[in-house]
Structure 1
Amino acid sequence: MTPRQMHLVAFLMTGPTCHHHGAWRHPESNVDDLLDPSRYEHIARVLEAGKFDALFFADILGLYDLYEGKYDTMVGRGGQVCLLDPAVILPIMARVTSRIGLGLTYSSTFNHPYQVARMLSTLDHMSHGRAAWNVVASTSTLEARNFGMKDIPSRAQRYDRADEVLEACWALWDSWDEGALLLDKASGQFADPARIHYADYKGQWIRTRGPLTAPRSPQGRPVIMQAGSSERGRDFGARWGEIIFTLQHEKADMQDFYADFKGRMEKFGRAPDQCVVLPSIDVVIGATESIAREQADYVNSLVDTKLGMAQISGHIGIDLSKLDPEQPLSDIIVEEGSRGSFDVILQGTKREGLTLGEAARRFATSELCPQLVGTPESIADRLIDLFESHACDGFVLTPTTFPGMYEQFCRSVVPILQQRGVFRRDYAGATLREHLRG
């Protein structure tokens, strides 16, 4: 029996900041190439050399402007600002790689399934079966207004619509049977119309006739990612997800989420091994423990408390500039925005009783996810412990310095994981779905 294998996915954004809000200020971080294709080509090659299952881009369809009623802090201080469209960047990365999965975030609230299905089918063709879709139901009014909506729909309605979007996409992806494209010059038969079908999907919010213009792709459909943490979000992920990206504070929280999520899959007729659960992890690597701690202290000193406050505001839907920084975060009541994100933030502050200002600085270093600091050996030990303790099936890594952290991790930690027999030495398959099932 093949030993259970760890899965690794890299978190990327097309801006200065991923999770660590001070990382872009570090002398070893590159930011002058943010708009250059070479930046994305390079990191794709690095991660594929490290045998990562996939990389994916988180995305935000607007500039957070809730804090103080303006976007000055988020843009001016270098927060989570997405400068470019990942759908244009991923094909560039596909051209310089051959195995690593390529994922993008696309909203089910603002995009029609025909457009989504066609684009993702095209990406799956262009990458020879490596496409992934991180499905988000969207949470912010600022994004809704960029798409001509006055307000964001309720959480229940967003997820009900998301279910319909996925159902419609499935029907569209299945509108071309395997082998429908013949390309037979001798007979003049380009395609077999009998193997192409109308989708004829009709739901409460979504309608689409089809067929899709794109032939059936190598994977049939992209791998589905999801990151919802609310009750409704977890159910959605349990029904559709193949990769679950989750933000958890520590080992016990990971274990609770893992057990809860795997248990939910049964009611949707799915086996637990049909989906991998990957909590977010930040790492700071040093030649010795003391060097690693010194490096972490330095990069963490670069975070901006005000930027952390602005970022939390965007996540939970409340302008925190109106609140006292000395107020316990647990006293805040969320009326709108992302309930799941707020619960994760609370989870990371309850045990320590952090004030709002303290939580903001902590949030600005890793969004309250674990920051593992140590030598390659000690970091590998901690990852393996979490993996073998049924806290996860692997990890989503987020960068501190960029691209240095990823380069260092692939060069120093990955070989240890391989030697310990928990991570692949090479790709066994060609598609992302094969990586996840291998």
Structure 2
Amino acid sequence: MARRNMHLVAFLMTGPTCHHHGAWRHPESEVDNILDPTRYEHIARVLEAGKFDALFFADILGIYDIYGKSYDTMLGRGGQVCLLDPAVILPMMARVTERLGLGLTYSSTFNHPYQIARMLGTLDHLSRGRVAWNVVASTSTLEAQNFGMTEMPGRAQRYDRADEVLEACMALWNSWEEGALVLDKKSGIFADASKVHYADYEGQWIKTRGPLTVPRSPQGHPVIMQAGSSERGRDFGARWGEIIFTLQHQKSDMQTFYKDFKGRMQKFGRAPESCVVLPSIDVVIGETEAIARERAEYVNELVDTQLGMACVSGQIGIDLSQLDPDQPLTDIQVEQGSRGSFDVILQGTAAEGLTLGEAARRFATSELCPQLVGTPEMIADRLIDLFQDHACDGFVLTPTTFPGMYEQFCKTVVPILQERGVFRKDYAGRTLREHLQD
């Protein structure tokens, strides 16, 4: 059996919070440079030095105002708010790196495939083949309203449309054959027009003629990333995904998801190894276990219950402001919002019987993904155990303190993973897709 290499992807957002909704308040976290391009250039350099496969930006196209019918808590207390457009930031990060993959979240519900294909094809050229597209079908009514819609389409319709968007984008990316750009000054031939074709795609929801204006990019098309948790979302990911980002509460949940997802790929005619499954992991590192636990306790105490309730409200699409925090979260019925996210929350509370308030604080601490606390050796041991027991193909690492956690992880944990032969010592290829096949 061929040796497997662990894959690492960094989770970023353009605001105070990634997963840990109290970390921005930590004395070591940098928050005064959120709008400064040097913030993003620095973290890109750090992650490339740590030989990460990629980073990617999660994105929210609005400010959650479900809790208390206001965005006062989410914005005022520093929840998940995206202050900048990641599509503008990625080219800056590409300029200061050479190998690191660069991922962008972009909605298939609100954007036309021609716009998506043109923008991502351009980024793939500018980065020399390092772009990933995290495809989201979007879930929230507030995002829909920002794009002139009264409410979101149903989940099935959103994913049906997303399938067509991917089909149309692929047709557009393939409208230029390899070698179509000639650039021969002597003959006067700029391009071989016979190698450029109309896309002529027409589905129920999507129609585009093509051809794309952007020549075929180094990867042919960007790496496709996806994070759907519902049944329909998993099928979508099994058809298209090359990176699957998932939130799972514990090892057994990861193993169940991993087995289920790899099995689904077969019905779409795809080999299981053509996609990597990466659960989210938070880490808190200390020189000793006692120091690490003290650090974790300190940063976790920076999360308040009200913000946690607002975060859960935003995820499940229900205003929890009038509910008793001592009520079991399992008693709440979800008929709208993100069913997949709600299922993940339930999964995390079922084992411990948490109340709504307790679950909200826990969710706002790590969004119910495992928080690994310990020395670099302990963290490496846990990651290797999950990796070797086929709970995953690697991890999406989410920050507590920023940028310190990433800096510490790259300097202390990565060398241990390299010494134990589960993680690359250097990049073998140039493109992101090559990294994923490494």
* TM-score category, normalised to shorter length: over 0.9
Partner of 1:63: 63
Q: Which SS does the other structure have where 2:28 is aligned? A: coil
Residue by residue over 1:391-435, the C-alpha shift from the partner in whole angstroms, topping out at 9 and shown as x without a partner, is 000000000000000000000000000000000000000000000
Q: Given residue 404 of structure 2, which amino acid in structure 1 is its aligned partner? A: G
Which position in structure 1 is the counterpart of 2:101? Answer: 101
Indicate yes or no: 2:109 matched with 1:131: no
Residues 265-280 of structure 1: pairs in structure 2 closer than 5 A:
265-280=265-280
Counterpart position of 1:30: 30
Opposite residue 293 of structure 1, the aligned amino acid is: R
Matching residue of 2:301: 301
> Structure 1-normalised TM-score?
1.00
Residue of structure 2 in register with 1:19 after alignment: 19
In 2: Cα distance, 1:159 partner to 1:213 partner: 27
| Match runs of 1:232-251 below 5 Å | 232-251=232-251
Matches within 5 A, 1:181-330: 181-330=181-330
Letter in 1 for 2:264: R
Partner of 1:412: 412
Tell me the CA shift for residue 56 of structure 1: 0.2
Task: Tell me how far apart the structure 2 counterparts of residues 350 and 321 of structure 1 sit (CA, whole Å).
Answer: 22
User: Cα offset for 1:330?
Assistant: 0.6
Aligned partners of 2:178 and 2:217: how far apart in 1?
9
Unaligned runs of 5+ in 2: none
Task: Please report how far the alpha carbon of residue 21 of structure 1 lies from its aligned counterpart in structure 2 after TM superposition.
Answer: 0.3
SS of match in other structure, 2:281 = strand
Counterpart mapping for 1:162-173 below 5 A: 162-173=162-173
Q: C-alpha distance in 1, partners of 2:414/2:276?
A: 19
Percent sequence identity is: 83
1:39-78, aligned counterparts within 5 Å? 39-78=39-78
SS in 2 for 1:15: coil
Q: Take 2:27 and 2:244, find their aligned partners in 1: how far apart are those partners?
A: 33
SS at match of 2:283: strand
2: CA distance, partners of 1:174 / 1:260: 31
AA matched with 2:228? G
Residue type of the alignment partner of 1:79: G
Secondary structure at the residue paired with 2:359?
A: helix
Deviation of 1:324 after TM superposition, in Å, equals: 1.1
Distance in 1 between residues matched to 2:331 and 2:420, nearest whole Å: 45
Letter matched to residue 359 of structure 1: A
Shift in Å, 1:385: 0.1
SS in 2 for 1:320: coil
- After TM superposition, the structure 1 stretch with the greater mean CA deviation from structure 2, 390-399 or 315-324, is 315-324
Q: Which runs of 5+ in 1 are unaligned?
A: none
Distance 2:232 2:247 in 1: 16
What amino acid is aligned across from residue 185 of structure 1 in structure 2? Answer: K
Distance 1:350 1:2 in 2: 37
* Alignment partners' CA distance in 1, 2:330 and 2:3: 42
Counterpart of 2:55 in 1: which secondary structure?
strand
Tell me by how many angstroms 1:304 deviates.
Answer: 1.4
Give the Cα–Cα distance (whole angstroms) in 1 for the partners of residues 135 and 311 of structure 2. 21
Matching residue of 1:397: 397
2:256 and 2:330 map into 1 onto residues whose CA distance is 20
**Superimposed CA distance per residue, residues 99-148 of structure 1 (whole angstroms, 9 cap, x where no aligned partner):** 00000100000000000000000000000000000000000000000000
Matched residue, 2:425: 425
CA distance in 2, matches of 1:371, 1:324: 27
Aligned with 1:348: secondary structure? helix
Cα distance in 1, alignment partners of residues 380 and 11 from structure 2: 19
Query: Matched residues in 1 for 2:225 and 2:201: separation?
Result: 23
- Cross-structure match for 1:154: 154
Task: Output the TM-score relative to the length of structure 2.
Answer: 1.00
Matched position secondary structure for 1:182: strand
Q: How many angstroms does 1:2 deviate by?
A: 4.8
Name the CA distance, whole Å, in 2 between partners of 1:392 and 1:2. Answer: 16
Provide the rounded CA distance (Å) in 2 between the counterparts of 1:60 and 1:364. 16
* Cα distance in structure 1, aligned partners of 2:145 and 2:403: 34
CA shift, 1:11, in A, is 0.0
SS in structure 1 of the partner of residue 350 of structure 2:
coil
- 2:212 maps to amino acid: L
CA distance in structure 1 between the partners assigned to 2:330 and 2:323 by the alignment: 13
User: What is the CA–CA distance in structure 2 between the aligned matches of 1:317 and 1:360, rounded to whole Å?
Assistant: 14
Q: Give CA-to-partner distance per residue, 1:342-399, whole Å, 9 cap, x none.
A: 0000000011110000001111110000000000000000000000000000000000
Determine the C-alpha separation between the residues in 2 that align with 1:273 and 1:56: 21
In the aligned structure 2, how far is the partner of 1:308 from the partner of 1:396? 22
What is the CA–CA distance in structure 1 between the aligned matches of 2:59 and 2:382, rounded to whole Å? 29
Q: Aligned letter for 1:270?
A: R
Query: What CA distance in whole angstroms lies between the structure 2 residues aligned with 1:118 and 1:380?
Result: 40
CA distance in 1, matches of 2:6, 2:235: 24
Matches within 5 A, 1:170-181: 170-181=170-181
The CA distance in 2 between the partners of 1:358 and 1:79, in whole Å, is: 17
Helix, strand or coil at the partner of 2:408: helix
CA distance in 1, matches of 2:352, 2:37: 43
Determine helix, strand or coil for the equivalent of 1:411: helix
Structure 2: how far apart are the matches of 1:166 and 1:251?
Answer: 32
What is the distance in 2 between the residues matched to 1:358 and 1:169?
Answer: 43
Amino acid at match of 2:358: E
Match of 2:437 in 1: 437
Deviations 1:41-73 (A, max 9, x none): 000000000000000000000000000001000
2:325 and 2:278 map into 1 onto residues whose CA distance is: 32
